[in-house]
A = this chain, B = another copy of it.
Amino acid sequence: MIYRVKVDVFLKDGVSDPEGFTIAEAAQSLEIAPIIRVRSGKSFLIELDISSQEEALAAAERLGRELLSNPVIEDFVVAESVEVDHG
C-alpha cells in the first residue's frame, strides 16, 4: 500500500533565522496584520510503498533524522501520515 507522509523541518529555537527575520519585515510592510515573528522552514511530502501506518510513521521518523534535517541546527516533526491509493 502507499502512504504519504509529511515531514516539517525548522531551525532549532535560538538558532538565528535571517530568512524568517527578513520575511517578517516584508510581511509587516504589507500591513495585512501586525507580525510578531516568522520562522522559515522546509516541508517534504514523501510517498512510500509500505504496509502499515505505524511503519510509515517509523520510516518518516528515520528519514527526518538521517536525511531531511541537520540535527545540529534543525528539529523535525512528522506532521501527518495518510494512506493514498493510486487507483
Interface residues of A (CB under 8 A from B): 2, 8-10, 20, 23-24, 26-27, 30, 32-50, 55-56, 59, 62-63, 66-68, 79
Q: Contact check: which of B27, B44, B79 meets A46 at CB < 8 Å?
A: B27
Q: How many copies does the complex hold?
A: 2
Chain B residues whose CB sits within 8 angstroms of the CB of A24 once the complex forms: 46
Q: List 11 A-B contacts (CB under 8 A).
A: A2-B36, A9-B43, A23-B44, A32-B62, A32-B63, A34-B49, A36-B49, A38-B44, A38-B46, A38-B47, A40-B43
**CB pair B59 A26 closer than 8 Å:** no
**CB pair B42 A42 closer than 8 Å:** yes
Chain B residues whose CB sits within 8 angstroms of the CB of A50 once the complex forms: 33-34
